[in-house]
């Protein structure tokens, strides 16, 4: 699989997981079974009354991170923040609580906004910085750049170190996939010795909730135990809870691993943001090759 189709597969994977799981967000697995049997198609609806193919905050914020990096790859925090605020002004249907607080607290310094948000809420351990972080691994070649910018984009809204840790593990797995490593091998390498190591042998004993540790445990479990891209995003959608975000995060890595051509066209062709995904995939591919030596001197 060539690099361009891995990058495009990653972005589309996020969007497909989001659009499919958006239908079942906040439902229980039992309610989903009662209403849909086993959901396999992108049909919209759900709590957000989505149009078929409409994506939610997971994909939109992923695109903000991508565009912010493309605007200023050497120091992307301010440009990512501008895209966040532009998106917020578009009055999105759904926006996570931690991120909403950080937007309200922002007065020119994102890291201060995140710190104040953590104080306001008493925690900031949601999955909102993990769900949007994949473009960092798609844009930068060097692991030092990937780790630095993964951390920066997380700390813009989520002060909690647990979020930063999950973003770095996630993007280190993505880095390995982009080098051509096999998915399960890459996961095993990166979670061994971390708090997620037991996902190699155990099933999650937590709800599929928006707490980043719970979310990431389910993501890793689905990736380790599903045999196809469709299996990963469908299982996420049928979990309920924070199904769109779990689907988006898992779908991103599954999409890199299989590559864009392997994502079923009944998923990729119905996405309403398809043109933006195509354009940003190409720009990420170009910038990655334009700065082959990375930004490690910063
Ligand atoms: Mg969402």
- Measure 22 CA to ligand 1 centroid, in angstroms: 6
pLDDT attached to residue 185: 98
Q: In whole angstroms, what is the distance from residue 43 CA to residue 149 CA?
A: 35
pLDDT attached to residue 298: 41
pLDDT attached to residue 245: 98
The domain of 64 spans: 3-290
Report residues of the chain scoring pLDDT below 70. Answer: 292-298
> Does some domain include residue 127?
yes
pLDDT attached to residue 289: 84
CATH of the domain at 213: 1.10.4080.10
> Does some domain include residue 161?
yes
pLDDT attached to residue 295: 60
pLDDT attached to residue 290: 81
> Does some domain include residue 261?
yes
265 class by beta-carbon count within 10 Å (0-12 exposed, 13-18 middle, 19+ buried): exposed
Identify the bridge partners of residue 50 per DSSP, sorted by sequence position: 45
> Does some domain include residue 280?
yes
> Does some domain include residue 256?
yes
> Does some domain include residue 45?
yes
Contact 96, 129 (CB under 8 A): no
- Measure 295 CA to ligand 1 centroid, in angstroms: 31
> Does some domain include residue 59?
yes
pLDDT per residue over 30-46, tens digit each?
Answer: 999 999 999 999 999 99
Domain count, the chain: 1
> Does some domain include residue 72?
yes
- Measure 100 CA to ligand 1 centroid, in angstroms: 13
pLDDT attached to residue 293: 66
DSSP states of 71-133:
H-TTS-HHHHHHHHHHHHHT--S---HHHHHHHHH-SS-HHHHHHHHHHHHS---BSTTTTT-
- Measure 294 CA to ligand 1 centroid, in angstroms: 31
pLDDT attached to residue 297: 45
């Amino acid at each position: 699989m060539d690099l361009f189709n891995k990058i495009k597969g990653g972005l589309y994977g996020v969007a497909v997981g989001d659009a499919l799981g958006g239908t079942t967000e906040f439902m229980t697995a039992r309610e989903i079974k009662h209403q849909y049997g086993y959901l396999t198609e992108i049909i919209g609806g759900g709590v957000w009354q989505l149009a078929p193919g409409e994506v939610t905050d997971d994909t939109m914020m992923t695109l903000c991170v991508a565009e912010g990096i493309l605007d200023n790859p050497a120091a992307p925090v301010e440009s990512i923040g501008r895209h966040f605020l532009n998106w917020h002004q578009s009055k999105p249907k759904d926006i996570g609580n931690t991120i909403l607080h950080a937007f309200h607290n922002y007065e020119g310094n994102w890291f201060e906004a995140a710190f104040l948000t953590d104080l306001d809420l008493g925690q900031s351990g949601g999955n909102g910085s993990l769900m949007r972080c994949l473009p960092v691994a798609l844009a930068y070649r060097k692991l030092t750049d990937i780790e630095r910018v993964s951390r920066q984009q997380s700390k813009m809204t989520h002060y909690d170190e647990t979020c930063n840790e999950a973003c770095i593990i996630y993007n280190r797995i993505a880095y390995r996939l982009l080098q051509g490593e096999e998915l399960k091998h890459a996961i095993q390498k990166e979670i061994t010795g971390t708090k997620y190591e037991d996902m190699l042998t155990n099933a999650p004993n937590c709800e599929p909730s928006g707490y980043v540790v719970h979310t990431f445990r389910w993501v890793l479990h689905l990736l380790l135990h599903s045999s196809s891209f469709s299996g990963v995003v469908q299982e996420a959608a049928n979990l309920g809870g924070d199904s769109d975000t779990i689907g988006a995060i898992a779908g991103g890595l599954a999409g890199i691993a299989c590559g864009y051509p392997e994502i079923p066209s009944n998923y990729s062709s119905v996405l309403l943001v398809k043109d933006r995904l195509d354009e940003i995939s190409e720009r990420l591919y170009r910038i990655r090759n334009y700065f082959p030596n990375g930004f490690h001197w910063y």
